[in-house]
Amino acid sequence: MFRKLGQSMAAWSFKYIPDPSIFAVLLTFIAFGLGMALTPSGPMDMVLHWYKGFWELLTFSMQMALMVITASTVANAPAIKKGISALASIPKNSKQAVYFVALVSVAVSIVHWGLSLVLGALLAREVGRSLKKRNLTFEYGLIGAAAYLGQMTWHGGLSASVGLLIATPGHFLEKQIGIIPIADYMINPMNIAVTIGVLVFPPLFAWMIHPKDDEIKLLEPDVAALLDRTDEGAHRARQVVTVGDKMNNSKIIALLLAALGFTYIYYHFSTKGFNLDLNIVNAIFFFAGIALHGTMADYVQAVKDATPGVSGVIFQFPLYAGIMGMVRYSGLVDVFSAAIVSISTLNTFYLWTFISSSVVNLFVPSGGGQWAVQGPVAMKSAEMMGASYIKSALAVAYGNTWTNMLQPFWAIALLGITGLKARDVIGYATAVMILSFLVFAIPLLFLPV
């Protein structure tokens, strides 16, 4: 049954899932139509709402781009890549590879979603190379989907956009809900149960949907060629002739800058306690990358290598910001949320908030961006219901990541690293998403925070 679900979703994805950029354009027109159908907004109103939102996520876009780039530079550091290559030889067959990559991706996502995305993709590619070198057949699309599973499981962890935002002084809902420490957001019975659940079940589900040996798809020629190539990210030998060359390749300069950064990071935690926000998380990975690469020349090259992975963020974030503008300013989000509240009891409110969040995520596939849209309504609804702000925030966060498996936006960097296409990955990821519903639903229904 599980294998058939995986195969049917893979076939559906192969036939119907477009490029992520087309997905964003189609969602733009869907949001436009829904705004006219369900709110008083006319066509010109929707155009104005769209453009009003179009440029509203520039700061957040830069933060998200830096999250991917800084995590990628850490994952591509020589010491880390050596570790990835060693790990890639552990799986002995395709099913083991799927489970292993999924487990690593999910575990790392609890620490940092961006690192999970990049490290998972690199591990998937290296596992594919290792299996191919050993002349073993493997379902590369499912291995890629396994690497993507961390994007379904991260929002209760250390890099949670919602958790970091509501822990940041001056956040836009502070007058209503106050500042909620990240420790309160993460360390509570419900989130601990969900964290354990996502570590156990999604990797197991990915293993269960693996096709039979005679159903494994052959590698596309370009993917096979990618897996046959030697690692293109190794440090490059450079001529050191001029004084400028010596400065570019100076370990002292790089390590002094890293030390400067970590001095502030130490100060931050020593004076503010365990207080994470988007900027401090990026700072940790920024300066860790410099220290791991050892010279500014190598670090700058690593940044250049990582930059293509954020092309989708740069191009598509304005489109999704425009969708956010239509959903927010037309009142669509109020329509959706009012419908949820009308069918909720206090016990089911969190589950319906999770479900509504999973739908909104298809239109605004960004934790922080979605919180900007849905957070005010979710917190107002929680106030009306007499519900917990923390549990409601976690319900939004879980829904935001659950349907990432159906939404190819965050797969862009993974696809670039692995050579796969969205249609190769999303079907399998969607199958695991469906099977994982109860991992989130049961704690939301029955456990406190």
The CB density around residue 73, as the number of other CB atoms within 10 Å, is: 27
pTM here is: 0.83
DSSP 8-state code for residue 152: G
List C-alpha distances in Å: 411 to 68, 139, 206, 214, 298.
12, 18, 17, 27, 26
Lookup: tokens for 395:
């319900």
Residue 249 class from Cβ within 10 Å (0-12 exposed, 13-18 middle, 19+ buried)? middle
7 near 431, Cβ under 8 Å? Answer: no
For residue 297, how many C-alpha atoms fall within 13 Å in the half-sphere facing its CB? 16
**Whole-angstrom Cα Rg for the chain:** 22
Residue 300 has a pLDDT of 96
List C-alpha distances in Å: 29 to 36, 322, 327: 11, 11, 12
CA dist., res. 169 & res. 172, Å (int): 9
pLDDT in tens, the chain (449 residues): 777 887 787 787 777 777 777 878 988 999 999 999 999 999 999 999 999 999 987 887 888 788 878 988 998 899 998 999 999 999 999 999 999 999 999 999 999 888 898 889 989 999 999 999 999 999 999 999 999 999 999 999 998 989 988 998 888 899 999 999 999 999 999 999 999 999 999 999 999 999 999 999 999 999 999 899 865 544 555 666 788 888 988 999 999 999 999 999 999 999 988 777 778 888 999 999 999 999 999 999 999 988 887 887 788 889 888 988 898 899 987 887 778 778 899 999 999 999 999 988 888 777 877 888 888 889 988 988 899 999 999 999 999 999 999 988 788 778 878 989 988 999 999 999 999 999 999 999 999 99
Q: Report the distance separating Cα 348 and Cα 385, nearest Å.
A: 11
Exposed e or buried b for every residue in 332-353, given b needs 16+ CB within 10 A? bbbbbbeebbeebeeeebbbbb
Q: Under 8 Å CB-to-CB from 6, ≥6 apart: which residues?
A: 142, 208, 209, 210, 211, 427, 428, 431
Determine phi and psi for 204, rounding to 5 degrees: -65, -45
User: What is the helix (H) or strand (E) element at residue 282, kind and residue range?
Assistant: helix 278-293
pLDDT of amino acid 323: 87
Contact yes or no for 289/302 (Cβ under 8 A): yes
| Cα atoms in the Cβ-side hemisphere of radius 13 Å centred on 320 | 31
- Distance, first Cα to last Cα, the chain: 35
**Any residues with CB less than 8 A from the CB of 83 and at least 6 apart, and which?**
none
- In the prediction, which pLDDT does 291 show? 98
| Contact in structure between 86 and 132 (CB atoms under 8 Å) | no
Contact between 163 and 182 under an 8 Å Cβ cutoff? The reply is yes
Q: Write the DSSP string, 305-326.
A: HHGGGGHHHHHHHHHHHHHHHH
Which pLDDT value is given to residue 243?
87
| Nearest CA among 326, 349, 325 for reference residue 339 | 349
